[in-house]
Amino acid sequence: MWRRSIQVRVVASTMALTAVVIGVVGWFLLQQTRDGLLDDRVDAVVAEAANETREAQERLLATPGTDADAAGQRVQLVEPIVNRGEARGFAVVLAATTEPGASLSGAGGTQFTPGLDVASVPPALVAHFAESPDPAWSYTRMRQEDASGRMRTMPAVAVGSQVELPADGESYTLYYLFPLDDEAETLALVQRALLAAAVLLLLLVGGVTFLVTRQVVTPIRLARQVAERLAAGRLQERLRVSGEDDLARLATSFNQMASNLQAQIRQLEELSRLQRRFVSDVSHELRTPLTTVRMASDVLYDSREDFDGSSSRAAELLQKELDRFETLLADLLEISRFDAGAASLETEDLDLVEVVRRVVDSTRVLADQRGITLAVDAAGPVRAEADARRVERVVRNLVTNAIDHARSAPDAPDALGDIVVRVAGDEHAAAVAVRDYGVGLESGESAMVFNRFWRADPARARTSGGTGLGLSISLEDAHLHGGWLQAWGRPGAGAQFRLTLPRRAGHELRQSPLPLVPADAGAQR
């Protein structure tokens, strides 16, 4: 889906980017809300702690005392603050000012709210008052017993300020610890609200993106479907045009292109039909005069010994060219049957090895004239359901074509001969490969070699007297069997043609028992 659907990629990418943007904005808003809540809370608790300290100092000054009642003054100082703290939700610790580096403990006359862990006062704040009498505050973690007697830990703000007891003239430090439970709950509520809003916004963005991309992707999908139907031959298919936007103009242009293609294809089909009809008609019409010419040529050929030298040679040339002309007519008629779809198979259980040996024996004279050695490489019978006439014609075309292009040399890469015909089979397919060590094929010629009348070297003479249609007819014969006919070649390394047929008629081929590229492909002649 990710690779095939633009809509999926656009929606997913948009939602991913939106999630990143929402995350960044949400984090920024959360930080601003947190800082605002804490700043307001700190200002409030610092002011409240200053008021408590000022009232306590005024209360102590209004009550004269001596060294004997210093402990009483500490209690008198702390108890009202503790009572108000229990009612208003904060805790208090009264401790003597320590030396720098000393820690705060619950002993030594320290007064504090019941249930409070004195260690909740941050050491940094204690160290501050060991060096300076100025009020200060700090964030901390406050530990205090709840109503059930369990210790609770919560975020808090610790505010400290110093007072002086009239009884002994010593400075003591009041530490106020204000829990941040309300702020934490507010921040959690904001977090939940932001999360819910982010999820809802993400879904809305995804839905909107889906709907928007659908308006663009749907016409593209319709155009793809119409293009596929056009490619399948349904040339009358057109896109429905609605509106005047860019997509509508694209649909109009597409329809115009389809109409032009349809007209061109119909014109080409008509030209092709006329061409096939012309070839078929000419081939049939030439049969009658060719028969007459053949009869006259036979008479002249049989009487050539009674002629002078030049006339006798002319009779022989006439007979030879008439043979070639008849072969060309037969090939043209066969091609016209393929074009008309009138070709049919007469299948039988066939041993391809026997067919190959029969073809090699019949073409050995031609090979000997050129000094070419032919060899058959087959381990045993290879049977397949095929048309014997057509298969033999394919093999004959491949072998004679190899003879035309092979070279004779004593250092042949294949010890079997200059041309080797291999036959092999497996459970599903049977194959015949014809390997020669001639001029080979240039890049791209392995596909062009099956074109009608195509020749790699137009100046090269045809030793076998071919018509230029042999490989084209062979390819059609292979396709008629549901098989393959493929070519491989390399300049200077020769060529190999491979015919692959299904063992059972109508079965689909998946692989060939013989490789297309021979094992000795690197050998050079």
What single-letter DSSP state applies at residue 371? T
Measure the CA–CA gap between 24 and 2, rounded to whole angstroms: 27
The predicted pLDDT at position 119 comes to: 85
Domain final residue, candidates 188, 212, 238: 188
In a domain, residue 329? The reply is: yes
384 and 473 belong to one structural domain: yes
295 and 351 belong to one structural domain: no
The predicted pLDDT at position 523 comes to: 47
State whether residue 179 is helix, strand or coil.
strand
For 413-456, how does the pLDDT look when each residue is reduced to its tens digit (9 = 90+)?
Answer: 555 678 999 999 988 999 999 998 888 888 878 878 888 777 65
373 and 490 belong to one structural domain: yes
Q: Nearest-CA neighbor of 156 among 189, 123, 179?
A: 179
For 359-404, how does the pLDDT look when each residue is reduced to its tens digit (9 = 90+)?
Answer: 999 999 888 888 888 999 988 899 999 999 889 999 999 999 888 8
The angle formed by the CA atoms of residues 519, 524 and 525, to the nearest 5 degrees, is: 120
The predicted pLDDT at position 464 comes to: 47
265 and 393 belong to one structural domain: no
In a domain, residue 291? The reply is: yes
Q: Name the domain count of the chain.
A: 3
361 and 453 belong to one structural domain: yes
332 and 352 belong to one structural domain: no
In a domain, residue 197? The reply is: no
291 and 405 belong to one structural domain: no
Q: What's the chain's length in residues?
A: 525
Measure the CA–CA gap between 318 and 303, rounded to whole angstroms: 13
Q: What is the CATH number of the domain that holds 358?
A: 3.30.565.10
In a domain, residue 206? The reply is: no
Which residues in the chain show pLDDT less than 50? 66-68, 410, 461-465, 523-525
260 and 287 belong to one structural domain: yes
Measure the CA–CA gap between 52 and 174, rounded to whole angstroms: 10
In a domain, residue 310? The reply is: yes
| Helices then strands, each counted (H, E), the chain | 10, 12
Domain final residue, candidates 188, 216, 234: 188
80 and 172 belong to one structural domain: yes
Residue 473, burial from CB neighbour count under 10 angstroms (0-12, 13-18, 19+): buried
Domain final residue, candidates 340, 365, 384: 340
176 and 284 belong to one structural domain: no
How many C-alpha atoms does 398 have within 13 Å on its Cβ side?
Answer: 33
Q: What is the CATH number of the domain that holds 274?
A: 1.10.287.130
Q: What is the CATH number of the domain that holds 180?
A: 3.30.450.20
**Residue 468 near residue 454, CB atoms below 8 Å:** yes
Range of the domain at 81: 9-188
145 and 183 belong to one structural domain: yes
Residue 312, burial from CB neighbour count under 10 angstroms (0-12, 13-18, 19+): middle
pTM for the predicted model, two decimal places? 0.49
The predicted pLDDT at position 294 comes to: 80
In a domain, residue 157? The reply is: yes
In a domain, residue 229? The reply is: no
In a domain, residue 203? The reply is: no
314 and 398 belong to one structural domain: no
Region of residue 492 (left: phi > 0; alpha: psi -120 to 50; beta: else):
left
